[in-house]
Structure 1
Amino acid sequence: MNTLFPIFLKLEELHTLVVGGGNVGLEKLEAIFRNSPKAKVTLVSPEIREEIKALVAHYNLNLIQEKYHISHLEGIDLVTAGTDSKEVNRQVRDDCKTKKILVNIADTPDLCDFYLSSVVVKDDLKIAISTNGKSPTFAKRFREILEEIIPESLQETLNNLQAIRNKLKGDFQSKVQKLNEITKVMQE
């Protein structure tokens, strides 16, 4: 049973640390900035790919080209690590635990406080997909299926529902009941 609690974070209000400047670090940065283009991110690694360096021109990204040290956690709210060293990854996790910072260690579910999901984005609709760490590949394929079947006109529907919601009168329960009636057609 998947007991993970889904959550959407406002990364533009947090400071994220990425440890690792290789392929995994690039993948994490691309996921962060695709979902939160205004996120504040620091990346630390003794070696940093050129593709990562190029991201500095477009995003709020600070690069520190040196080995990870616990001092890099100062002022950090969230961490993801994906170095090619299991020892460094474990140290990052242990340091985060000491400082009570949530951490994701790439490809090591047992060391993670959270997993990065596969995400479907259609304008204002965002759907996160989790396999409880069992198969990121399946989550990616399922995301591709959902992207194909969700209609492009969905944003218009969301805008109309927001307009209706803003005009509804009454208490919270009556508003929810009315919106449930309106959206029931989606099941048919």
Structure 2
Amino acid sequence: MQENQLFPVFFKLHRLHVLVVGGGNIGLEKANAMLQNCPDGNITVVALHFLPELEDIARKFPNVTLVQKPFSCGDLLGKDLVIAATNDRALNYCIWEKAKGSKVLINVADTPELCDFYLGSVVQKGNLKIAISTNGKSPTVAKRLKQVLQEAIPDTLDEVLNKLYIIRDKLKGDFTAKVKQLNTITDVLVRGENEKSA
């Protein structure tokens, strides 16, 4: 059986422009997921109708634009990513075809074979962000793992990260030397956990 060969990437959505096609529950879910991770993300939602919650989002986030019209090829111009989030399989397939022809990366909701990328479950503690993927096999397992990790990782970890960032800036030497020094400094974190479990 083939293992998960996805390459994890974290997009800077404030530098990209995302097109979401679909103004219903799926479009709302995808827009919410992106904005939770990057409130400054540039998102255009194209649909014939919008849920009131999507209209609320557009009022709260000036970088979210709602365009009430049918999808057309021109909607792809200037877009970096596309999410087909309609409940119409034929329309989603059409969006996929147009995106591929325009060389724009696309995610077709609930259709893994038409996805260039997935929106995984995300665990965040301050600056620490962990994305979880099951290679499209089980979003439910990904959500459960998210809950476990969210509870297991202490909230104070962000404070540790900030202090290590300050230390890293003060270290002398080349990259290899800095990595060695940081490994020595952070070894106490791992040793502490091992001693507790012993």
Q: TM-score normalized by structure 1?
A: 0.98
Deviations for 1:39-77, whole angstroms, at most 9, x for unmatched residues? 111000111101000111221111111111111101111
Partner of 1:153: 156
Q: Which residue of 2 aligns with 1:31?
A: 33
Structure 1 stretches of 4+ with a deviation exceeding 4 A read none
Determine whether 1:180 maps to 2:179.
no
Kindly provide the amino acid, as one letter, of the partner of residue 178 in structure 2: K
1:66 equivalenced with 2:108 (yes/no): no
- List aligned pairs for 1:1-188, cutoff 5 A: 1-59=3-61, 60-188=63-191
Paired with 1:41 and 1:175, the residues of 2 have a C-alpha distance of 39
Letter in 2 for 1:9: F
Instruction: Name stretches of at least 5 consecutive residues in structure 1 with no aligned partner.
Output: none
Length-normalised TM-score, structure 2: 0.93
1: distance between equivalents of 2:96 and 2:188? 46
Shift of 1:184: 2.2
Distance in 1 between residues matched to 2:110 and 2:87, nearest whole Å: 11
Letter in 2 for 1:173: T
| Structural RMSD (CA) | 0.8
Mapped to 1, the partners of 2:89 and 2:158 lie a distance apart of 43
Counterpart of 1:56 in 2: which secondary structure? helix
- Name the CA distance, whole Å, in 2 between partners of 1:156 and 1:86: 46
Q: Partner of 2:78: helix, strand, or coil?
A: coil
User: Shift of the alpha carbon at 1:125?
Assistant: 0.5
Offset, 1:186: 3.2
Helix, strand or coil: the match of 2:59? coil
